[in-house]
C-alpha cells in the first residue's frame, strides 16, 4: 500500500543513531517539495504567430531539470580528468550500511535509464549478501534505480520502506499524466538509443508504447542541408585518447586546428542533446556516446516501469531526506521535516547533482575517496520543449530534424552560449498528432532552464523557422 508521511512517522521507532543525528545535523529543512508543473495552455483557434509562419502552440510544456532541487541536472557525464573508476567508487557501500545506486554509479551504461535499472539490481545483490533476516531497510528515491532495488530487497525478505522527495514516483523518468494531450508529454528520459535496448524489451512487456524515429532531415537558413556528421570530431577524439593528458573535446578540436563550422557545431549540439555532455568539459579519454543510429521514443505513460516493481511496498512521498548518520550498527535518516528514523541499512539512489549540492548532510562525512569521486564527475543537462499545435505548419515529413547554422533572432546569451534549439522530434508521422518536441543539451540546456516561458517559446519558434511550410514563409 502507499502510506502518507504522517502515518509512517506515527509508526516509526527511534534508536541511538536518531539521537546522534538530531544533535549533529542541521535544523534547516531541505528544499520544499514543489508540485509538478502542468503544461501551459495556449489560446485555441488561430493563435497569433510568434514569428511569420510559426504559430503559437495551443499548449506547451517545458522541463527544467537543471533548476530542479531534487535533481540539479538530467544525467551524469564524465568530464575530463575523471574516469569510470570514480563511478565504481561512488557506488561502493560504506560499512555495509550505506549503499549507493543510480545511473551515476553504472560502469557500463552511465547516464542512461538502463544504467539506473542495472544499478538497482547491483545494489540489491550487494545488500542481500550482507543483510540479516528481516533487516529494516530504507530506500531513498522512487525512481527506476530505487524501485528496482526495493522490489528485489522485499522479495529477499527484508523490511523495506521507500522515501521519495517528490509527490510522485519516477524520478527522472516522468510522464505528464494530468493533461488532455493525445500523446502524453514526457518530462524525463524518453528517447532510447542502442544503449537502451534491454530497457526497450522490458517496457514492451509492461505495455509501454514506443515508436521508431527512423528518418531525419537537416535545414538551415538557406533550406535543406546535410545531416550533421561527426567524422572529424570522432577522429580528433580517437587521436586524443592516446595523449598524455585527458583533454576536453573542445580543447582537442582546438589543438588539432579544427574550426567549429556550422555542421560541426550542429553535431556537437546533437551529441549534447543525446548525452547531456558539454564539449567544453567532456572527456576525450572517456567520451560521450556518438549520436546517431536507431532511436525509439516513448509515447505512453511510463508509470508501469516504476509502479510494477514498487507494488504494495510502503512509499512515503513529498519527503526529502536532509541528513544521514551512520556507524557500524545502523543508519539514521533525518527528514526535511526534522523527524528522524533509524534503519539497519539504507540505499541512496538520489541523483549525483543532489549529492554534489550537499543537499544531504552525512555524519560522519563520507570517506574521502567517495567525496573525491563525487566531485570528479559532472551532472549534465538535457531539457525538452513540447509544443502542441491545432494543425501542422511545417512541410517536413521526417521524424527527427536538425537545425544547422545561425537562426535569425536567436543571439548567444551573456556567457556566449548558443541557445538555438537544434534538435526536434516530429511526432506527426508516427502518431498523427501535430506535436513537436525540441531538445537541447549541455550549456544550452542550462541556459534554457533558467529562462521564463515566453523567452523559451520565442527561441523555439525562431528555431523552427527553417521547417515552416514554404507558403507560410
Please state whether the peptide bond connecting residue 364 to the residue before it is cis, i.e. omega within 30 degrees of 0: yes
Residue 163 lies in a domain: yes
CATH code of the domain covering residue 418: 3.90.660
Length in residues, the chain? 473
Residue 59 lies in a domain: yes
> In terms of domains, do 245 and 368 share one?
no
> In terms of domains, do 105 and 11 share one?
yes
Q: Estimate the share of the chain in helix, then strand, then coil, as percent rounded to the nearest 5.
A: 30, 25, 45
Q: Which is nearest to 174 in space by CA: 307, 314, 33?
A: 307
| Residue that is last in its domain, among 355, 377, 399 | 377
Confidence at residue 47, expressed as pLDDT on a 0 to 100 scale = 52
Number of domains, the chain: 2
Q: Which domain holds residue 148?
A: 5-28+76-174+302-377
Separation of alpha carbons 407 and 415, rounded Å = 18
> In terms of domains, do 407 and 371 share one?
no
Q: Which is nearest to 251 in space by CA: 239, 262, 263?
A: 239
> In terms of domains, do 290 and 435 share one?
yes
Confidence at residue 444, expressed as pLDDT on a 0 to 100 scale = 96
No. of helices (H) and no. of strands (E), the chain? 15, 24
- Give exposure, 265-294, as e/b (b: 16+ Cβ within 10 Å): bbbbbbbbbbbbbbbebbbbbbbbbebbee
pLDDT (tens place) for every residue of the chain, 473 residues total: 333 333 343 333 333 343 333 334 344 444 444 444 444 444 333 456 778 899 999 999 999 999 999 999 999 999 999 999 999 999 999 999 999 999 999 999 999 999 999 999 999 999 999 999 889 999 999 999 999 999 999 999 999 999 999 999 999 998 998 889 999 999 999 998 887 877 777 788 888 989 999 899 999 999 999 999 899 999 999 999 999 999 999 999 999 999 888 899 999 999 999 999 999 999 999 999 999 888 999 999 999 999 999 998 989 999 999 999 999 999 999 998 899 999 999 999 999 999 999 999 999 999 999 999 999 999 999 999 999 999 999 999 999 999 999 999 888 888 888 999 999 999 999 999 999 999 999 999 999 999 999 999 999 999 999 999 875 54
> In terms of domains, do 360 and 330 share one?
yes
pTM of the model as a whole: 0.88
> In terms of domains, do 444 and 357 share one?
no
Residue 216 lies in a domain: yes
> In terms of domains, do 117 and 181 share one?
no
> In terms of domains, do 208 and 288 share one?
yes
- Three-state DSSP at 298 gives strand
> In terms of domains, do 150 and 99 share one?
yes
Residue 458 lies in a domain: yes
| Residue that is last in its domain, among 324, 359, 377 | 377
DSSP 351-387: -HHHHHTT-SEEESPPPHHHHHHHHHSEEE-EEEEEE
Cell numbers for 103: 545511473
Cell numbers for 465: 523557422
Q: Which is nearest to 272 in space by CA: 438, 111, 402, 440?
A: 440
Amino acid at each position: 500500500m502507499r502510506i502518507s508521511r504522517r502515518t509512517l512517522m506515527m509508526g516509526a521507532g527511534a534508536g541511538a543513531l536518531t539521537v546522534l543525528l538530531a544533535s549533529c545535523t542541521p535544523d534547516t529543512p531541505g528544499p520544499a517539495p514543489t508540485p509538478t508543473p502542468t503544461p501551459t495552455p495556449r489560446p485555441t483557434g488561430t493563435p497569433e504567430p510568434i514569428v511569420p509562419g510559426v504559430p503559437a502552440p495551443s499548449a506547451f510544456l517545458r522541463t527544467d531539470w537543471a533548476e530542479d532541487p531534487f535533481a540539479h541536472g538530467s544525467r551524469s557525464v564524465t568530464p575530463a580528468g575523471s574516469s569510470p573508476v570514480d563511478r565504481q567508487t561512488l557506488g561502493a557501500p560504506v560499512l555495509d550500511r550505506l549503499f549507493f545506486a543510480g545511473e551515476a554509479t553504472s560502469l557500463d551504461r552511465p547516464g542512461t535509464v538502463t544504467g539506473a535499472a542495472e544499478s538497482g539490481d547491483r545494489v540489491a545483490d550487494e545488500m542481500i549478501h550482507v543483510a540479516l533476516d528481516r533487516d529494516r531497510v530504507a530506500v531513498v528515491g522512487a525512481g527506476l534505480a530505487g524501485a528496482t532495488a526495493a522490489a528485489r530487497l522485499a522479495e529477499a525478505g527484508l523490511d523495506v520502506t521507500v522515501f521519495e522527495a517528490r509527490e510522485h514516483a519516477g524520478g527522472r523518468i516522468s510522464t505528464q499524466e494530468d493533461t488532455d494531450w493525445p500523446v502524453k508529454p514526457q518530462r524525463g528520459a524518453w528517447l532510447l538509443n542502442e544503449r537502451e535496448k534491454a530497457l526497450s524489451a522490458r517496457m514492451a512487456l509492461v505495455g509501454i508504447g514506443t515508436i521508431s524515429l527512423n528518418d531525419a532531415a537537416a535545414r538551415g537558413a538557406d533550406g535543406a542541408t546535410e545531416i550533421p556528421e561527426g567524422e572529424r570530431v570522432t577522429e580528433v577524439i580517437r587521436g586524443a585518447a592516446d595523449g598524455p593528458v585527458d583533454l576536453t573535446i573542445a580543447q582537442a578540436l582546438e589543438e588539432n586546428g579544427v574550426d567549429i563550422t556550422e555542421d560541426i557545431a550542429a553535431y556537437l549540439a546533437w551529441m549534447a542533446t543525446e548525452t547531456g555532455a558539454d564539449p567544453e568539459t567532456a572527456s576525450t579519454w572517456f567520451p560521450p556516446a556518438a549520436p546517431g543510429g536507431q532511436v525509439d521514443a516513448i509515447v505512453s505513460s511510463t508509470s508501469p516501469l516504476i509502479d510494477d516493481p514498487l507494488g504494495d511496498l510502503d512509499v512515503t512521498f513529498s519527503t526529502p531526506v536532509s541528513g544521514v548518520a551512520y556507524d557500524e550498527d545502523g543508519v539514521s535518516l533525518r527528514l526535511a521535516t526534522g523527524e528522524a528514523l533509524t534503519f539497519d541499512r539504507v540505499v541512496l539512489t538520489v541523483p549525483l547533482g543532489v549529492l554534489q549540492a550537499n543537499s544531504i548532510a552525512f555524519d560522519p562525512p563520507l570517506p574521502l575517496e567517495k567525496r573525491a569521486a563525487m566531485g570528479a564527475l559532472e551532472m549534465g543537462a538535457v531539457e525538452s520543449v513540447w509544443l502542441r499545435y491545432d494543425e501542422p505548419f511545417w512541410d517536413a515529413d521526417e521524424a527527427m530534424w536538425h537545425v544547422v547554422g545561425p537562426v535569425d533572432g536567436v543571439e548567444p546569451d551573456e556567457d556566449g552560449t548558443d541557445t538555438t534549439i537544434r534538435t526536434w522530434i516530429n511526432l506527426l508521422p508516427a502518431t498523427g498528432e501535430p506535436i513537436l518536441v525540441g531538445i537541447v543539451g549541455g550549456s544550452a540546456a542550462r541556459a534554457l532552464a533558467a529562462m521564463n516561458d515566453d523567452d523559451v517559446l520565442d527561441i523555439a519558434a525562431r528555431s523552427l523557422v527553417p521547417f515552416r511550410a514554404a507558403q507560410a514563409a
